[in-house]
A and B are shown apart, each in its own frame.
Chain A
Amino acid sequence: MSKPKAKAAQTHQTGIYKSDSVRDVAESLGIANLSETVASSLASDVEYRIHQVIEEASRFMRHARRTTITTSDIDQALRVLNIEPLYGHNPHNPPVFRRALPFPNAANVGPVYFVEDEEIDFDRVLREEKITLPKGVSWTAHWLAVEGVQPLIPENPPAIPKDVDQEITKSPPQANGAFPLTPPSESRSTVKKQQQQQQQLVKQVLSRELQLYYTRLTASLLPPTADSTKRTAALASLRNDAGLQALLPYLIRWVGEGVVTALKEGAQTEADGRSLEVLLDVVSAILENNTLFIEPYLHQLLPAILSTLLHSTLPPSHTTHLRTSAAQTLSRLLTQHSTTYPSLSPRIMKTLLVALISADKSKGTREGAIRGLVGIGKEAVRKGLVEGGGVKVVGSECTPGETGPLVDSVMTALNVLHPASDMPESLDATDDGDTVTIAQLQDVLGNFFAEKLHGDKGWALGILGSIKQQS
């Protein structure tokens, strides 16, 4: 063996344990002139012994059903190899090895690792840290599979690890030089296979651009701050932009949640009122957008509209506007979709009627219901107010001579039924024909609103006429 060649080879070829390390140890023991051959063969031997211990320890690791070697495995291995174990290490908190900064004056040393030896301040520990007793081992049971199908419950892993998740798992936080976690090499192929099996159940994943759009959009709409240009732009985008279909469920959900939060706390503040206005604008914008296929989501959209319409107490300054625009939105929705969704208007009618007629509803709700009926159309007004007896109920709740939004809304509704005449001519109680009309009016509309119509003979007759004509 030629010496220089061997040396050159050694620097990059020999194993992990370098002969330099042996020489360092020898020097620390006071042996100054250790020959190269002795050092290198000692290093080789040390390495072999280390491997021997590790191989033995790995058996203990395997039988302990773990995938990382702990200090206790090494201890066990030393014990069976008849070597005294290294006391003082426990596997509960494994030492964290940190890499030292490279030494500027010794470039060829290579990476040096050391164990962080923290100084513990007893005063601080005693004062601050509460020592909690560990809970102890416990068990839970769950169905991993039922007749060969894995149920989608929180105990089981999600069917498809989303791309985002994978990215997270790919780059575990290893900042402090920790060991890698113990992941069994989860092969992609198995994931793919499951994907195929359970594809039907899984929602589409939003693209990053759409996600960004969504956050920008919602941020510019709510809270309704002064920047109205942004809001207008956002609404215009909703009204006209194509390609928002994927966002639709999220938007509708957002609207629904917004309405709920606005109405939950009594909805008395200005801000609530304004946000409700904005949300209604959003709904109408969505409805106006021709590129969106909204029908599957109508059942989610309606509660938001109807809640606004029928809620008992809306912020005072916005009440009329809110209820009117909600009614308008509703009417728009119905005109657009009642053809393809025939059961839609009867169901809405039913909801509105219940709100209008049933006892113990506030005036606000009644008003909303009437506005809704107006929005639906003449036929709905006739059915709800007259045949359903809505006018009578409202009239009986009104004190004589009362005015207010509720009465106004009823008058609007009656106006829909038949327009008031331009030149009102009052009914004459002495006239026979008029007496009959008054009696009929009282019969149909109740005393309160019959009186309201006293001033306009043509209107009263028109209303009666339109009712008769239908029945």
Chain B
Amino acid sequence: MSAATPAASSSGGVSPVNASAPDVTQNVSSIDRLVLEYLRSRGHKDAERALNESLESGSVDESAKTVSAEDLIKTLAVYAQKPSRPGDNVLKESANVLQELTAMGNPPSIQTLIASLGTVGAEDILSVDPTDKEEGFRELEAWVEGSLDMYKPEFRPILFPIFCHFHLDLVQRGFKEAALRFYATYSPSLAPMHHATLHHLSTLLLPSHVQNDDDAQRFKNEKYVIRMSRSGFSLLVGWLTEGVGGEATGAGDGFSGEKGKRGRAAIMRVVNNHLRFDVTSASATAVSPNAWEESTGLLSQLIPQTSTSVTPNPHTFNASKGELKLGPAPISEELRAETERVIREQSVLDRDPNAQYDLQFLRPPAVLGVISPTESDMLPYPQSFKTVDVQREVEKVRDARKRIRLEPSALSSIDMNSVQGGAARARGLPSICAYTLHDVGEGAPCCTFSPDLTLMAAGFSESYIRLWSLKNEKLKGLRNDFSLSSVKDSGSLSKIQQKEGNTTRKLVGHSGPVYSLSFDPLGGSAVPPRYLLSASADATTRLWSLDTMTNVIAFRGHQNPVWDVQWSPMGIYFATASRDRTARLWSTDRTSCLRIYAGHLSDVDCVRFHPNSLYLATGSSDWTARLWDVQRGACVRVFIGHQGSLSTLAISPDGRYLASAGEDLAINLWDLGSGRRIKKMTGHTASVYSLSFSAESSMLVSGGADWTVRCWDVRGAGGSGKSRESGVTESTITRTNDDENNETSDLLATFPTKRTPITNVHFTPRNLCLVAGNFLAPDSR
């Protein structure tokens, strides 16, 4: 949403049109000239230009020519204020719809039906009576609710786009009261699923708002895709044309009356101009209740255009992008040999013969069905390895050996309260240590642990960062008063270290709330990190050296607040997500960014690297998550299904799954390889702030604003357990209120805290779970 006022948008590019207008008017028909003169007299310069252009190119739709001049003026006046995209969709016609349907390979019978609808739609575009919309929508709702149960999940998604278009039409034509009445009457039934969009639409009250609002324009200019089975679609067409087929009893005089006919026509207009039906051959019963989330909506801009895909379907897009290399990153032979040597030496020193067998952990088992990248695929990294690399790899092996194995699958079949349940709990669920911040003033948007758990950092709304040593060691920086020439080796460096220190340290530098922090991962769990990255509302990302405890670089480039920052799994590179709708890749040795990942239609809220650092996942306020090829900068997967902004992401350590949490309070689990949703996990009652996979990728832990930490079974089937058993029908599930139980069956455990929203959840490589949050004192707000 931009801050531009409506007045500003119509001012640009007017004078050249005026100059050329007289020439154009001479070679157009009398009707058109009338229109042009009218437009000019009323000062609708944009519309005038639009008409001129369309006249010149001769692309005025046939049906538009058949209408009377007077009506055309009326219609055009409505669109007159439209600043851009002249004539794009305004009079888009049944011909186009027909073409699209042909491309989809529908049987000709449906095409003829559509064609017959088309002419009616074109006539009725001129009817401006607001009552027909209300009447039409009432009829449609009655029809959907009166249809057979097996078709209801298919038909219900139709209501929402038609509602939106009716509402926008009413607003755009200046029927504010009618729009408000329409909204008040019909929005409650749609509110549970589309609350966010509906609320946004309700704020639009004047035609100029509709013209300038991004979401409204997306509705106007994009096709709303609805997935339907073939039989369902023909039922819908049948009802639209003849008014038969599953009409609810006692729903008024139906389509026999004059009112009903016009209402139906209004619906058909929307169906023709703004909807696109993705007709599948699957039977209606095979569609799961949540499937519509993935294939319904204004998809065309969400999915990057490729030459092959005609219909915007996320699955076809994801399939067209080919296979991904999701396997673990390769380790160079030299590094591996050195690590093996160190492990052997240590095993001799420790007199621990078993440690020899640890070497198996060095070669991670190849995950089935996943391609591993070769060294040539990787981002450029330094050729030679350092001591810290060896230390990290050795510690990784040790972690793998000492890991607490979590087997959540053991829990699924056992009653939690029984005796065996206790043992299974111990085996299946992690130990969670909670770090609670107290006396936080305005709030701490982020709190994070270093990979070796020696440090904890929190970013505050008051623009500073605070570091704590979790081992109670003193954090020392460097003194200011030393001459550079005296520093020769590490010994002289330690001499200029500060003598005194505290176990906590404040890092000051940002000028806005700090939204994200990331410790450098190079040392792994073996060595304390040396760098910290922070992202802030002041549009900068800053790199802090933990040796000197000072700010080293401020990375500028984003135009808007930076929401998230994360190091790549092997250091050097990092990615940021910003309100300016882009994610960017940076490296620590350059101040400008290396790649810009553009394509999201709204804020990019979070970024996560794939464990092999080849891919980058982003979550956005446009309700989608995307996976990008880091090097090429291209989008390779789109994940559509959330019904709200995304708040956080997590990629499993085995590299196969992506978990995303959204403002719809659901956590979705995606298969990265196919781009398909595996399942939807619900249970949280407020925003989810953080997600983390266990080291074996078998368990997901989430923390959020409802003051709870929840454990989810990744491999479990999921699905709504209780509500289905009790025989509640689909309709009540979709319209559940908040107080009803909507926990899916793969929710293993819920651990409430005392008034502490959990801002970070972190699994250590040994499967201990750490969570952090700031305590809200009961009197504070």
Interface flag for A189 (CB, 8 Å):
yes
Q: Report chain B residues within 8 Å CB of A145.
A: 429-432, 709, 749, 751, 769
Chain A residue with the shortest CB-CB distance to B460: A137
A181-B781 contact given A63-B563, A83-B3, A137-B437, CB 8 Å threshold: yes
Instruction: Give the Cβ gap from B10 to chain A, nearest Cβ, in Å.
Output: 16
B686 pairs with A67, CB closer than 8 A: yes
Measured in the bound complex, the distance between the Cα atoms of B513 and A58 in whole Å is 15
B 422-448 to A, binary, CB cutoff 8 A, 1 in contact else 0: 100110111111111111111111100
A193 and B750 form a contact (CB under 8 A): yes
Which listed residue, A41, A72, A138, A178, touches B206 by the CB 8 Å rule? A41
Q: Point out which of B425, B579, B751 has the most chain A C-beta atoms below 10 A from its C-beta.
A: B751
**Sample of 16 A–B contacts (CB below 8 Å):** A9-B181, A13-B180, A13-B184, A45-B208, A47-B203, A65-B705, A76-B512, A139-B436, A140-B435, A145-B751, A149-B425, A155-B754, A157-B752, A181-B778, A182-B776, A190-B685
Q: Is B1 an interface residue (CB 8 A)?
A: yes
Bound-state CA distance A147–B687 (Å) is 26
Q: Are A184 and B436 in contact (CB under 8 A)?
A: no
| Residue in chain B with minimal CB distance to A136 | B439
Q: Say yes or no for B458: interface residue by CB 8 A criterion.
A: yes
A132 to B541 Cα, complex, angstroms: 35
5 closest A-B pairs (Cβ-Cβ)? A148-B429, A184-B706, A184-B686, A51-B203, A44-B205
Taken together as a complex, chains A and B put the C-alpha atoms of A67 and B757 apart, in Å, by: 10
Q: Does the CB pair A1–B445 fall under 8 Å?
A: no
Q: Does B34 contact A (CB under 8 A)?
A: no
Query: Which A residues lie within 8 Å of B752 (CB)?
Result: 156-157, 190, 194
Residues of A within 8 A of B (CB): 1, 6, 9-10, 13-15, 40-41, 44-45, 47-48, 51-52, 55-56, 59-60, 62-68, 70, 72, 76, 80-83, 91-92, 94, 134-150, 155-157, 178-179, 181-182, 184-190, 193-194, 196-197
Question: Given that A67-B686, A137-B458, A182-B776 are known contacts, is A14 also in contact with B579, CB under 8 Å in the complex?
Answer: no
- Bound form: Cα–Cα A142–B433 in Å: 6
- Contact string against A for B residues 698-723, beta-carbon threshold 8 Å, 1 for contact and 0 otherwise: 00000011111101000000000000
Inside 8 A of B174's CB, which chain A residues have their CB?
Answer: 1
Chain B 734-758, CB within 8 Å of chain A: the 1/0 string? 0000111101000001111110010
**A68 (CB) vs chain B CBs: closest residue:** B781
Say whether A6 contacts B177, CB under 8 Å.
yes
| A-contact 0/1 string along B197-220, CB 8 Å cutoff | 000100111101100000000000
**Known interface pairs A72-B442, A182-B776; A141-B435 also in contact (CB < 8 Å):** yes
Q: Which of A63, A146, A189 touches B741 (beta carbons < 8 Å)?
A: A189
Name the distance in Å between B61's Cβ and chain A's nearest Cβ: 29
**Min CB gap B540→A, angstroms:** 15
Bound together, the chains give a CA A79 to CA B682 distance in angstroms of: 35
B515 nearest in chain A by CB position: A63
Chain A residue numbers with a CB within 8 Å of B247 are none
**Which bracket fits the contact residues of B?**
35 or more
- Bound-state Cα–Cα, A67 to B560, Å: 22
Chain A residues within 8 Å of B302, by CB: none
Are A197 and B417 neighbours in the complex by a CB distance under 8 Å? Answer: yes
User: Is the Cβ of A142 less than 8 Å from the Cβ of B781?
Assistant: no
A81–B3 Cα distance when bound, in Å, is 5
Chain B residues within an 8 Å CB radius of A76: 512-513, 537, 561
* C-alpha spacing A15/B184, complex, angstroms: 11
Cα distance A82–B603 in the bound complex, in angstroms: 17
Evaluate contact between A45 and B206: CB separation under 8 angstroms: yes
A82 CB → nearest B CB, Å: 5
- Does B393 count as interface, using CB distance less than 8 angstroms? no
Chain A residues positioned under 8 Å from B738 (CB to CB): 185, 187
Asked if A65 and B685 make an inter-chain contact with CB atoms under 8 angstroms apart, the answer reads: no
CB distance from B737 to the nearest CB of A (A): 10
Tell which of A15, A80, A139 touches B205, judged by Cβ atoms closer than 8 Å. A15
Q: Which residues of A contact B776 (CB under 8 A)?
A: 182
CB-based contact B705/A67 at 8 Å = yes
Q: Nearest CB to that of B3 among chain A residues? A: A81
B466 contacts A150, CB within 8 Å? no
Contact in complex: B759, A65 (CB < 8 Å): yes
**Which B residues are CB-close (under 8 A) to A140?**
435-436, 438
Chain A residues near B429: list those with CB within 8 A: 145, 147-149
- B277 is an interface residue with CB less than 8 A from chain A: no
Say if the beta carbon of B689 comes within 8 Å of chain A: yes
Minimum Cβ distance to chain B for residue A318 (Å): 49
10 more CB-based (< 8 A) A-B contacts, given A143-B432, A149-B422 = A45-B205, A64-B445, A141-B435, A145-B430, A148-B425, A155-B754, A156-B751, A187-B741, A189-B739, A194-B750
User: Which of A14, A137, A188 has the most chain B CB atoms inside 10 A of its CB?
Assistant: A137
A64 to B739, CA, bound (A): 26
**Contact of B296 with A by CB under 8 A:** no
- Residues on B with C-beta less than 8 A from A9 are 177, 180-181
Task: Closest A residue to B748 by CB, please name it.
Answer: A148
